[in-house]
């Protein structure tokens, strides 16, 4: 186990920072005036100068920001998906402010105290991994990932350009690409957050029944706090799942799943029924 200045034994670590290329921001018209410079070109100093907004209503609806080091970033963007192209630059800003119980264990990789990294895991920076996490056998953490405290990244799970809040569990054969997962969200074995349309088109979201462009052609899902997603479910690009929702196993999921609801295998969304 990682403790103090000790490096986790046997983990494969690569410091290969990479920034988003212009093709990842395909619709600049969707960005507000503060995004005049393409986000993939932003430096940490530029991010720090963005004034904090009041947290966007959608962000507040989905996520308890006290459970993520990415809270300041999410407070500085209009919609949560606007944070995705900025993760890499934000990490460079954040590392100067990390608590003393975080240690850089490889180029562009920082790890909090108490985290265990299995020797067969592969980590490519820039990445920040919180305290008391488990990075298990054959986990693959690619560039631009912020992981909270007490997170489980399990066997053959791949993360790429993502924010995982505290307590997230992605324990078995999962893919989380260009996505945000809220506090104590959980993916069942084989569940996938798909981040790219086969046509390569811009990814849209659906809010209040209306289609909205995101300006991105790589965007997985926004999975809110306390969401449970069943085994082998697939979330299509641009899916939003509200707080406390449940997705049954094997479900294809698209659009917006309301907070506190259940999506069943018949494709219908039902209100949750609390049992004594």
Q: What is the pLDDT, as a whole number, of residue 272?
A: 78
**Structural domain contains residue 191:** yes
Q: What is the pLDDT, as a whole number, of residue 25?
A: 36
**Structural domain contains residue 7:** no
Q: What is the pLDDT along the chain (276 residues), one digit of tens a residue?
A: 443 333 343 444 444 333 333 333 333 333 333 333 344 444 555 545 554 544 579 999 999 999 999 999 999 999 999 999 999 999 999 999 999 999 999 999 999 999 999 999 999 999 999 999 999 999 999 999 999 999 999 999 999 999 999 999 999 999 999 999 999 999 999 999 999 999 999 999 999 889 999 999 999 999 999 999 999 999 999 999 999 999 999 999 999 999 999 999 999 999 977 665
**Structural domain contains residue 3:** no
Question: How many folded domains does the chain comprise?
Answer: 1
Short-list 10, 171, 146, CA closest to 88: 146
**Structural domain contains residue 1:** no
Pair 19, 89: CB distance under 8 Å:
yes
Q: What is the CATH number of the domain that holds 253?
A: 2.160.10.10
**Structural domain contains residue 4:** no
**Strand pairing of 234-235 and 192-193?**
parallel
- For the chain, give me the number of helices (H) and strands (E)? 4, 28
Provide the residue range defining the domain that includes 43. Answer: 12-271
Could you say which DSSP state residue 247 is in?
E
Q: Is 132 exposed, middle or buried (0-12, 13-18, 19+ CB in 10 A)?
A: middle
Give the angle 48-72-197 at the CA atoms, nearest 5°. 100
**Structural domain contains residue 72:** yes
- State the CB neighbour count (10 A cutoff) for residue 217: 20
């Amino acid at each position: 186990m990682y403790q103090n200045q000790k490096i986790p034994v046997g983990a494969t670590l690569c410091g290969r920072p990479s920034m988003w290329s212009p093709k990842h921001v395909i619709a600049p018209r969707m960005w507000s005036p503060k995004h005049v410079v393409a986000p993939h070109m932003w430096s940490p100093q530029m991010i720090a100068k963005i004034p904090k907004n009041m947290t966007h209503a959608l962000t507040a609806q989905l996520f308890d920001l006290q459970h993520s080091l990415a809270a300041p970033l999410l407070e500085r963007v209009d919609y949560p998906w606007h944070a995705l192209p900025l993760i890499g630059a934000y990490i460079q800003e954040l590392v100067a402010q990390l608590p003393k119980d975080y240690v850089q264990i490889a180029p562009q990789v920082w790890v909090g105290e108490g985290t265990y990294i299995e020797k067969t895991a592969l980590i490519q920076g820039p990445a920040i991994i919180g305290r008391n996490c488990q990075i298990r056998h054959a986990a693959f953490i690619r560039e631009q990932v912020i992981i909270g405290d007490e997170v489980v990244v399990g066997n053959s799970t791949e993360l790429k350009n993502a924010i995982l809040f505290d307590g997230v569990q992605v324990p078995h054969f999962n893919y989380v690409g260009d996505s945000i997962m809220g506090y104590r969200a959980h993916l069942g074995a084989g569940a996938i957050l798909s981040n790219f349309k086969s046509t390569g088109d811009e990814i849209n979201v659906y809010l209040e029944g209306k289609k909205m462009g995101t300006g991105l052609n790589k965007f997985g899902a926004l999975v809110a706090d306390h969401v449970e997603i069943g085994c082998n479910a697939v979330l299509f690009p641009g899916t939003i799942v509200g707080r406390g929702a449940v997705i049954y196993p094997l479900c294809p999921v698209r659009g917006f799943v309301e907070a506190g609801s259940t999506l069943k295998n018949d494709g219908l969304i039902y209100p949750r029924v609390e049992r004594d």
